[in-house]
Amino acid sequence: MKSKNILYAQSGGVTSVINASAYGLISKALKSEEINKIYAGIYGISGILEGNLLDIKEEPIEKIHALSYTPSSAFGSCRRRLKDDDNEGFNRLFQIFDEYNVGYFFYNGGNDSMDTAHKIDQYAIKIGYDLKVIGIPKTIDNDLYGTDHSPGYGSAAKYLAISMLESSIDTRSMSKDSTKIFIMETMGRHAGWLAASTSLAKLNADFGPHIILLPERIFDEDNFVNKVKYEVEKNGYCTIAVSEGIRYKSGSFVSDMGYTDSFGNRQLGDAGRVVANIILTRLGLKVHVAVPDYLQRSSGHIVSKTDREEAIKVGEVALDLALSGISGFMVTINRVSNEPYQVQYGKVPLFEVANNTKYMPEEFIADDGYGVNDKFIKYAKPLIFGESYPDYKDGIPDYVYFPLNEK
Amino acid sequence: MKSKNILYAQSGGVTSVINASAYGLISKALKSEEINKIYAGIYGISGILEGNLLDIKEEPIEKIHALSYTPSSAFGSCRRRLKDDDNEGFNRLFQIFDEYNVGYFFYNGGNDSMDTAHKIDQYAIKIGYDLKVIGIPKTIDNDLYGTDHSPGYGSAAKYLAISMLESSIDTRSMSKDSTKIFIMETMGRHAGWLAASTSLAKLNADFGPHIILLPERIFDEDNFVNKVKYEVEKNGYCTIAVSEGIRYKSGSFVSDMGYTDSFGNRQLGDAGRVVANIILTRLGLKVHVAVPDYLQRSSGHIVSKTDREEAIKVGEVALDLALSGISGFMVTINRVSNEPYQVQYGKVPLFEVANNTKYMPEEFIADDGYGVNDKFIKYAKPLIFGESYPDYKDGIPDYVYFPLNEK
């Protein structure tokens, strides 16, 4: 029997530990006698459709190890989705699978990527191509259905909590005669998981955040201004986390409030800056605004050890599932105990992940809507536990890079 | 002879290692028989003028050790300056000095703080009060005169270089069908030291920054747009560092370009966002913008080991100078060798520091004005060498906090 090959690819927004999952899968597959070649798809299905595949066994083995601590997407990612009626796309994809003798396809991504993986699994069944398709979860947004949490979230949460702590003690120290308000805008357009994670800054100190603006709550400007005033009077300063996804009662995003430049062009804003200007205009207080943007999802220099280990494990479990003949599922992490924190690994059908979103439970949100409560802390605290650091060279992380055949 | 007391205080914007200098000074003073009490002024001279002093020996000794890795200002800082003709202020200050039997005054800050320290030294001489005044350098801006570099700069530079590296590999990985441009705005209103430091991201990789907008160069929109276009065509994407202090030919800050919100109110902008909107409008490319703001000056979770050790040392040297009877000087770091990197510690008169600014040398700037050259890299590389991490508890840094008698 001619043994089959593996194709692994990454898709969607990156995380600090997505490559740790690649490391888990690849390093285990290298030891398996059932696997012949291991290919990495470059730029997800976008590159695969162009025949852009990397033969992992041609790369030095040290590079595989370095994958375990390299953030972002080492093989390139994409936003491309395959539509149901894209027969040309599916035909081309399965030509590539056939050409490279691919028997196992692993797609490492979020909701949209699981939708694509599901469609590929269905198409294989339809045309009678023997393919095992397994989804590997990844997203800093923590909105994947069927899993207690998603690899990537713990590290982003740790980064944001530490950044909020450090900025809060900065603001506190300057508050006597300078800055009174610090605002940090977080990602998370539809669910408040990331904004909420800044509350973990309070585990070892009590300097903020005093307010968290969650997308789960309507942004009421008057009420918010009163809350800021109250916190400044109480603490002498106020630090605030703002989700990029907050909306007005009308349903429009606060970040879409919009403004025009000096030439009359309508420009994009951001929620943190809009909220800062509201405070500046109505309360006349000095405000600083931070927008970590990509920094929060690529922060390999400080990842959660728990998150990293789980990311490696879901890669290994994905291989086990595929080799046992299972197809059409995503690996899940199931919490079996909180103290001590213990998890087991399971699976959920890809189509369920593709058609659902995991929102933050209402019971996690504080009564006044400006933060989260102890139930959230209890849930999130184990996910940021432990520190994991990359190797350094000349003062800079010694991450690993693969050729992406860039233009 | 009744031994004298020490008063140490922090002033101006904070850094990741200013408390390391406090640690160096205090831990050495605790062993000195010439020193009786050690006071920390709360909120710099702003709190000292209100008699807000902390008796360090009343605090647990473990807290002194934790100062060595706690970022930001542990005792509170201020922006207050003493004007020459503020007789009431000087009188009040020396009443406090007299009341607390202060014989040694250490002011840990930047240019403005050294100006204040100089005036205090002069006033002591004028009224015949026996006071030794020593300045301890600190600023992420690296613009202090008389010293090769300033404690705080190396850690901010390391943070910014790592953040630029991580965001650049993120942008590279998404560039096939999503984001093409990443912009990170840095602090540094008058000198490009911080924006320039992002170039250290290229020590172990070559993914950016492709463009650095320095305040030393006029921002020419057309020329910049052409440069971005060129870089995107060459690399497939382009990452950019923007100093908050860039200006148009007219002399006005790009960040002051200003815009009006939907209610017609004029609002504050920021340079990174303005530049992003220029690219979006003129090239139609997807842009992401990060503004680390306070995160770059309080990032205790990743500091330069070299910077931290030097910060501790300048605190120790400050004590030595004062105890040897010297007054009116700031401690300096003099580089005596670059390979291997070696420094000696010296001193410079406070009035010279107060009246000068250290700009980035023209010879460090790249020919096309969009970055720095190898001369800068040679200068800055040793300053970010080595990693130093804080202790953690529950996944969050276990920093130390002192009561600041907050409102």
Residue of A176, A182, A205 with shortest CB distance to B76: A176
- Give me the amino acid identity at B20: A
Residue B227 within a domain? yes
Mean pLDDT score, B334-338? 97
The residues with which A39 forms a beta bridge, in sequence order, are A7, A55
Q: What is the mean pLDDT of residues A27-49?
A: 96
Within 8 A of B341 by CB-CB distance, chain A residues are: none
Which of B70, B166, B204 lies closest to A295 in CB terms? B166
Distance from CA of B74 to the nearest CA of A (A): 7
CATH of the domain at A114: 3.40.50.450
Q: Cβ of B169 and A401 within 8 Å? A: yes
Contact B79, A177 (CB under 8 A): yes
Q: Over 90: is that where the pLDDT of A123 sits? A: yes
Instruction: Choose among B162, B397, B398: nearest Cβ to A397.
Output: B162
Q: Which helix (H) or strand (E) holds A6?
A: strand A4-10
Amino acid A1: pLDDT? 46
Chain B nearest-CA residue for A262 = B259
Q: Are residues A56 and A108 in the same domain?
A: yes
Give the residues across from A182 on adjacent strands: A239, A288
Residues A164 and A142 in one domain: no
Separation CA A346–CA A338 (nearest Å): 17
Q: Which residue has the higher pLDDT, B189 or A127?
A: A127
Helix or strand run (H / E) with residue A345: strand A341-349
Residue B199: closest C-alpha in chain A: A396
Confidence band, pLDDT 50/70/90 cuts, at residue A255? confident
Please provide the DSSP assignment of B77-110 as one string.
Answer: -------TT-HHHHHHHHHHHHHTTEEEEEEEES
Gap between the Cα atoms of B85 and B83, Å rounded: 6
* Residue B231 sits in the same domain as residue B148: no
Q: What is the pLDDT of residue B264?
A: 55
Would you call the peptide bond into A71 cis, given omega within 30 degrees of 0 as the criterion? no
Confidence of residue A407 (pLDDT cuts 50, 70, 90): very low
What is the mean predicted confidence (pLDDT) over B117-121? 98
Alpha helix (H) ranges present in A236-362? Answer: 271-283, 305-323, 350-354
Same domain, A27 and A125: yes
Pair A240, A225: CB distance under 8 Å: no
Find, in chain B, the residue whose alpha carbon is nearest to that of A239. B294
pLDDT of residue A405: 73
Could you give the CA distance from residue B11 to residue B77 in angstroms, rounded to a whole number? 5
Of A115, A121, A141, A307, catalytic:
A141
What's the whole-number mean pLDDT along residues B300-309?
A: 98
CB A38 within 8 A of CB A327: no
Say how far apart CA A212 and CA B399 lie, in whole Å. Answer: 23
Q: Which amino acids of A are annotated as binding site for diphosphate, given as ranges?
A: 13
Residue A246 located in a structural domain: yes
pLDDT at residue A289 tops 80: yes
Query: Quick check: B259 and A260 CB within 8 A?
Result: yes
- Residue-wise pLDDT tens digits, B348-392: 999 999 989 999 999 999 999 999 999 999 999 999 999 999 999
Q: How far is CA A252 from the centre of its chain?
A: 24
Last residue of a domain, one of B249, B278, B296: B296
User: What is the arithmetic mean of pLDDT over B107-131?
Assistant: 97
Kindly report the length of chain A: 407
**Among partner residues A47, A301, A304, which is closest to B176 by beta-carbon distance?**
A47
pLDDT above 70 coverage of chain B, percent: 96
* Contact yes or no for A396 and B161 at CB 8 A: yes
Decide if A200 and B176 are in contact by the 8 Å CB cutoff: no
Last residue of a domain, one of A296, A323, A348: A296
Compute the C-alpha angle B139/B18/B79, nearest 5°: 60
Q: State yes or no: pLDDT of B71 exceeds 80.
A: yes
The residue segments making up the domain with residue B91 are 4-152+300-356+386-397
Closest in B46, B302, B396 to A301, CB measured = B302
Tally of structural domains, chain B: 2
Judged by CB atoms closer than 8 Å, whether chains meet at A162 and B281 is answered as: no
Q: Is residue B79 part of a domain?
A: yes
Tell me how close the Cα of B80 comes to any Cα of chain A, in angstroms. Answer: 7
Arithmetic mean of pLDDT, B159-169: 98
Q: Residues B163, B67: one domain?
A: no
User: Quick one: pLDDT band at residue B406, thresholds 50, 70, 90?
Assistant: low
Q: Which residue of A has its CA nearest to B72?
A: A170
Contact assignment for B177 to A43 by CB distance below 8 Å: yes
Domain of residue B164, CATH code = 3.40.50.460
Structure tokens at A37: 């070649």
Residue closest to B360 by CA, chosen among B249, B204, B199, B171: B199
Chain A residues lying within 8 Å of B386, measured CB to CB:
395
Cβ B241 vs Cβ B195: under 8 Å: yes
Query: Do A282 and A341 reside in the same domain of the chain?
Result: no
pLDDT given for residue B204 in this prediction: 84
pLDDT tens figures, B225-278: 999 999 999 999 999 999 999 999 998 888 875 555 545 554 555 899 989 989
Maximal CA-CA distance, chain A: 77
Cβ B385–A393 below 8 Å, yes or no?
Answer: no
- Alpha-carbon distance of B157 to A55, in angstroms, equals 37
Is the distance from CB of B72 to CB of B298 less than 8 angstroms?
A: yes
Task: Give the pLDDT confidence of A207-254 residue by residue, as tens digits.
Answer: 999 999 999 999 999 999 999 999 999 999 999 999 999 999 998 888
B281 and A292 in contact by Cβ < 8 A? no
Q: Is residue B265 part of a domain?
A: yes
Answer yes or no: are the C-beta atoms of A312 and A26 closer than 8 Å. no
Q: Which member of B46, B265, B399 has the closest CB to residue A205?
A: B399
CA-nearest residue to A279 within chain B is B267
Q: Name the active-site residue from B141, B143, B148, B307.
A: B141
CA atoms within 13 A on the CB side of A311: 33
The whole-number pLDDT of residue B259 equals 53
Tell me which amino acid residue B15 is: T
> Which residues does chain A have within 8 Å of residue B291's beta carbon, measured at their own beta carbons?
289-291, 293
A141 a catalytic residue: yes
* Residue A374 within any structural domain of the chain: no
Tell me how close the Cα of A290 comes to any Cα of chain B, in angstroms. Answer: 5
Final residue belonging to a domain, choices A296, A319, A340? A296
Q: Domain check: are B71 and B196 in the same one?
A: no
Strands (E), B313-406: 329-338, 341-349, 387-388, 392-393, 396-397
Q: What is the pLDDT of residue B197?
A: 98
Do A262 and A133 lie in a common domain?
no
d(CA A396, CA A390): 10
Q: Are A195 and A211 a contacting pair, CB within 8 Å?
A: no
User: Could you tell me which of A165, A105, A160 has the C-alpha nearest to residue A136?
Assistant: A105
Higher pLDDT, B256 or B53: B53
Q: What is the mean pLDDT of residues B29-38?
A: 94
- Reported as a single tens digit per residue, the pLDDT across B212-239 is 999 999 999 999 999 999 999 999 999 9
From residue A301, alpha-carbon distances to A70, A75, A327, A388, B347 in Å are 9, 19, 35, 8, 36
* B371: in domain: no
B120 and B183 together in one domain: no
Whether residue A110 lies inside any domain: the answer is: yes
The tokens of A73 are what?
């997407």
Q: Which candidate from A13, A203, A277 shows the least CB-CB separation from B267?
A: A277
Question: Do A145 and A348 meet the contact criterion of CB atoms below 8 Å apart?
Answer: yes
Instruction: Reply yes or no on whether the pLDDT at A322 is more than 70.
Output: yes
Say if residue A161 is in the same domain as residue A274. yes
Cβ separation of A177 and B79 shorter than 8 Å?
yes
> Whole-number mean pLDDT of chain B?
94
Condensed to tens digits (0 to 9), the pLDDT of residues A195-208 reads 999 999 999 888 99
Task: Based on the fold, state whether residues A160 and A148 are members of the same structural domain.
Answer: no
Percent of chain A with pLDDT over 90: 88
* B139 marked among binding-site residues: yes
Q: How far is A176 from chain B (nearest CA, A)?
A: 7
The number of C-alpha atoms within 13 Å of A249 and in the hemisphere containing its C-beta is 4
A174 and B79 within 8 Å at the Cβ level: the answer is yes
- Nearest-Cα distance to chain A for B319, in Å, is 24
Binding residue ranges of A for substrate? 139-141, 187-189, 244, 294-297
**Optimal mutation site among B52, B293, B398, B407, interface A, most CBs of chain A within 10 A:** B293
Q: Are residues B62 and B182 in the same domain?
A: no
Chain B residue at shortest CA distance from A47: B176
* Cβ distance of A172 and B76 shorter than 8 Å: yes
Record the tokens describing residue A12, joined without a space: 């969607």
Q: What residues of A are designated binding site? A: 13, 111, 139-141, 187-189, 244, 294-297
**What are the tens digits of pLDDT across the range A131-142?**
999 999 999 999
Residue B186 lies in a domain: yes
The region of weakest confidence among A86-90, A263-267, B14-18, B374-378 is A263-267
Q: Which residues of A participate in the annotated binding site for Mg(2+)?
A: 111
CB contact under 8 A, B294 and A386: no
Number of inter-chain CB pairs under 8 A, A vs B:
276
B195-213: average pLDDT: 95
Q: Are B154 and B306 in contact (CB under 8 A)?
A: yes
